Amino acid sequence: MHGNRFRHNFLTALLLAPATAWLVVFLVLPFIAIAIFSVGERAPEGGYQAAFTFAQYANLPARATAFWNTMVLAPVGALACLLVAYPVAYYLALRAPARWRLILLALVVIPFWTSLLMRTYAWMYILGGRGIPALLAFVGIEDVRLINTPGAVLLGIVYGYLPLMILPIYVSLERLDRRLLEASADLGATPLSTFVGVTLKLSLPGVMTGFSLVMILLLGEYLIPTLLGGGKVFFIGNALVDLFLQSRNWPFGSAIAITLVAVSVVVLIAANRISTRVSGARRVDLI
């Protein structure tokens, strides 16, 4: 019995060891490093200088606008993404011919294998003066500006995160028992009430997963606002990149990073709670 238990524990430890080592060296240690930085001071030439002060945290309101913009962008971007993604996932899971399903699904992922930078630069071209505005000028609508607008940023975000939203919703819809839909229709429910009462309800875990994943990744986004927004809209990701790479105020950047991670964890937990309450599922089903 003892031997058995020992073997059980040993195997458990063995299974967890690689992940634990990985998490310690590449998550806990870096986190400790920025935690130490965050109570330090900026060196005169930039960088970090040892100290113990909470001045960096007290200075957080200096980036309040960036925090606020991010808190608006993340849910709005995720929602826009969801509105585009849901019909696609629905079609792929329930309407598309079975033999096309894999190909169509792959077609959703393949754009991701072309660098995001190149795709975003392509959008800069399409929205820029030689793209759509040139076409509009051709039909007589002059001097339309699309690039560097909030709309362009939103478009870029929907574009960049669409597959991350489609996949989890697809998985949750695909597992759906079609007999339920038929039963609902047989019982005289309208298509709309079948959709709301059965399909939407059962796909909620996937929706929540996609929504929280996209929202969390949007909390750190900086490239799309920079390229398609012309650097005029400032998000927390931009603030971080600036502090670490431009003004090299590493302590302040670290304090912001720690705050952002804390906020993100809270968001993740809240999303978990909501999805548990709504769907009765145990945890967020990430795919």
Which CB sits closer to other proteins, 198 or 219? 219
Q: How far is the CB of 110 from other proteins (least distance, A)?
A: 5
Q: How far is the CB of 83 from other proteins (least distance, A)?
A: 11
Which CB sits closer to other proteins, 187 or 252? 252
Which CB sits closer to other proteins, 63 or 194? 63
**Residue 50: Cβ within 10 Å count:** 11
Please state, in angstroms and rounded to a whole number, the distance separating the CA atoms of residues 104 and 23: 35
Q: How far is the CB of 124 from other proteins (least distance, A)?
A: 7
Contact 75, 212 (CB under 8 A): no
Q: How far is the CB of 127 from other proteins (least distance, A)?
A: 9
Strand partners of residue 171:
none
Which CB sits closer to other proteins, 130 or 187? 130
Q: Which two tokens stand for residue 186?
A: 């047989």
